[in-house]
Amino acid sequence: MSKEKLIDAKGHILPGVLSTPVDEINYLDYDLRTVMDRPRSGLARRLRFNQFQFIGAAGPGWVFGLAIVDLKLVGSGFFYLYDFASGQMLERSFMRPLALGTRIEPYPELGSASFTKGDVSMRVLPFAGGRNVSVSAPGGVRVELTLRDDHDPLRLVCPAGYNGWVFTRKSAGLPVEGEIRWNQCIWRCDEATRGAIDWSCGFMRRETAWNWASLASLLPDGRSIGLNLAAGVNETGMTENALWLDGQCHKLGSARFHFDRYYPGGEWHVTTEDGRVDLHFVPAAARKEKLNVGILASNFRQYVGSFDGTIIDEGGKKVAIRNLKGLVEDHFARW
């Protein structure tokens, strides 16, 4: 059985929402050129290609996040857990030059991702319909989570800048099993725990900025709900905005984020132009990171907090969102 590849025989992408899986991101086959239309070398294509994977989970009174990032010149990984009852944010972050110990296989459906540094090990291992997440680190950190029922993801590829593109595969509202151990404490998943998967890559704009919102939870009526909203990345007439209800993906209109960047504790108002999303987000904690090393720079703020408001489902019915835990993000990157 032949694999479905993203880049065609002419070295081009076919932009849009993809209805079938992409087995391989064959990025070295892409006809990457300079802004003056000169073909890039194979080495330049390797160095310009970025990948990252993010896993989020919202459990009974806690939110967990993990990311593995391969920027070729730098590899990084982080994970955190925020406990709403205690107000405690536990977090670890790591970097390695030349992406040593960082591996993200270019296979969106069944590729693994890992980051290692000394005694720290982070792994995301796929299986048909889900992901296994494991973390081991000093300080008694042990994470074992399984995200399942990932059967209807959003897959999108769109142009980025003059000569690049971004591919993303996202899912939200997935059931999660397992537990997190940290400093002799244990946080266990329950039947209402839900998670999200974000697998993204591409030849991205040299300078990129975006806002992002992610929600994964269980509604009072028993339905799983997932939400992914973004502004600033996939903006070439296409968006990665989607709503999942009981595992089924529904596309949404363009997203708008209203917030005060310089008042980090302030409320966010997140809406979509089709009128289907009207949410207010109140931050409880943040993971922040600033990096400025010339060629590479990042000003990253990811907030954990609570959503309230309404979402309109496919049948036109308003769904009340009350104190559901999730994430928003404000990020500038130069790579």
Q: What are phi and psi of 189, to 5 degrees?
A: -75, 150
Give the amino acid at 192.
A
Please tell me whether the overall predicted TM-score, pTM, comes out greater than 0.85 for this model: yes
- Give residue 302's pLDDT band: very low, low, confident or very high (50, 70, 90): very high
Chain center to CA of 114: 15
How much is the pLDDT for 232?
86
- Whether 173 is in a domain gets the answer yes
Tell me the average pLDDT of the chain: 96
- Whether 78 is in a domain gets the answer yes
Question: Quick one: which H or E segment has residue 332?
Answer: strand 318-334
Statement: residue 2 has pLDDT above 90: no
Give the CA diameter of the chain.
57
**Domain ranges, residue 163:** 16-334
Contact status, residue 310 vs residue 278, Cβ threshold 8 Å = yes
Residue-wise pLDDT tens digits, 12-26: 999 999 999 999 999
- For residue 68, CA distances in Å to 73, 103, 114, 276 come to 14, 8, 7, 32
Q: How far apart are CA 326 and CA 217, in angstroms?
A: 8
Q: How far apart are CA 302 and CA 147, in angstroms?
A: 21
- Whether 4 is in a domain gets the answer no
Q: How far apart are CA 301 and CA 289, in angstroms?
A: 7
Instruction: Name all contacts of 241-248 with Cβ < 8 Å and 24+ positions apart.
Output: 241/272, 242/154, 242/170, 242/172, 243/276, 243/277, 243/311, 243/313, 244/152, 244/171, 244/172, 244/173, 245/173, 245/313, 245/314, 246/173, 247/149, 247/151, 247/152, 247/173, 247/174, 248/152
Residue-wise pLDDT tens digits, 167-188: 999 999 999 999 999 999 999 9
How much is the pLDDT for 234?
64
Non-local CB neighbours of 257 within 8 Å, separated by 6+ positions: 211, 213, 229, 231, 268, 269, 270, 328
Mean pLDDT of 218-239: 89
* CATH for 175: 2.40.370.10
- Whether 10 is in a domain gets the answer no
- Count of domains in the chain? 1
Question: Quick one: which H or E segment has residue 46?
Answer: helix 42-48
- Is residue 106 helix, strand or coil? coil
Q: Which residue did the predictor score with more confidence, 41 or 235?
A: 41
- Whether 220 is in a domain gets the answer yes
- Is residue 51 helix, strand or coil? strand
How much is the pLDDT for 233?
76
Least confident of 178-182, 234-238, 292-296: 234-238
How much is the pLDDT for 3?
77
Residue-wise pLDDT tens digits, 23-35: 999 999 999 999 9
- Give residue 237's pLDDT band: very low, low, confident or very high (50, 70, 90): confident
Statement: residue 305 has pLDDT above 70: yes
- Whether 195 is in a domain gets the answer yes
Q: Looking up tokens 């409320």, which residue turns up?
A: 267
Q: How far apart are CA 245 and CA 172, in angstroms?
A: 9
Statement: residue 197 has pLDDT above 90: yes
- Whether 237 is in a domain gets the answer yes
- Whether 236 is in a domain gets the answer yes
Statement: residue 1 has pLDDT above 70: no
- For residue 194, CA distances in Å to 126, 179, 239 come to 17, 13, 23
